[in-house]
Structure 1
Amino acid sequence: MTHDDLIRDVLTSVRSIAIVGFSANPGRPSHGVAKFLQTRGYHVILVNPGLAGQEILGQKVHAALADIRVPVDMVDVFRRSGEVAGVTDQALALSPRPYAIWTQLGVRDDEAARRAEAGGIRVVQNHCPAIEIPQLGIPPVSAFP
């Protein structure tokens, strides 16, 4: 499977995306990506302990992945590379486990990626879904089979 095939598979297989490290600031990339994913029909779940309980972009913000009460298909990480291992541990503890863990541009942890893959989770690192969706021509969620 090529890298583009992996990205296409992930983006057309998931419906719910937890944005870990979401910012309430509209100028921050995590805010813009969350809003973009919503416009594409994904159910976006916001995660930031400092904003927990607030409603932003029409969604309640959660303190941690463990606080989310619906299945999470993908975890999109907007945290420093050094924090990916902890987020991966949280994702591996979810039941059911997410289909994918995605790390944003400039963010990678190869050891955490190996652990996630060993746990049956697909991993995309150092990419942005808001860039990949238009580049690969991924249709809105409503068009998925």
Structure 2
Amino acid sequence: MPNLTLGPFAVERDGTLQPRAPGLRPAMRFAWRGRRCEAALTREEVHLAAFAARVPSTAEARAGRPGAFEAIASLPGSLPPGWKARLLPDHRVMLEASAPLSEPPTATELVAAMVRFALELDPYLDRLDSALVPLSGTANN
């Protein structure tokens, strides 16, 4: 039986993942609640990231900006251990986490890490939606 293709990966018969092209940092992109997310493999772990929200521009909601920045400032202390929140130059908020993987990783491990990240992300998306501009409905942001 030939290998299956899962995005940038070749899935071996035993379920282990190999990059389809050497030298790449393979990643799976997915959407959760309309947000663009990514699961990128390194040698030891999977790096997970989600574009969670964005700070409103002064043209959109000048009065809401202080509350948006307060919500972002309070976020890091409430995130699970190992998670990070970053405000990007374009004013989007990115939430990031990592999860260990076996060597070589399996497709099941990768999908399970993606699902756990998405489910753990939910309360933070709700919180950010109440104070910032949600990115829902635009998985391309």
TM-score where L is the length of structure 2 = 0.22
More strand per residue: 2
Task: State the structure with more CA Rg.
Answer: 2
Q: Which has the higher contact order (CA 8 A, sep 6+)?
A: 2
TM-score where L is the length of structure 1 = 0.22
More helix per residue: 1
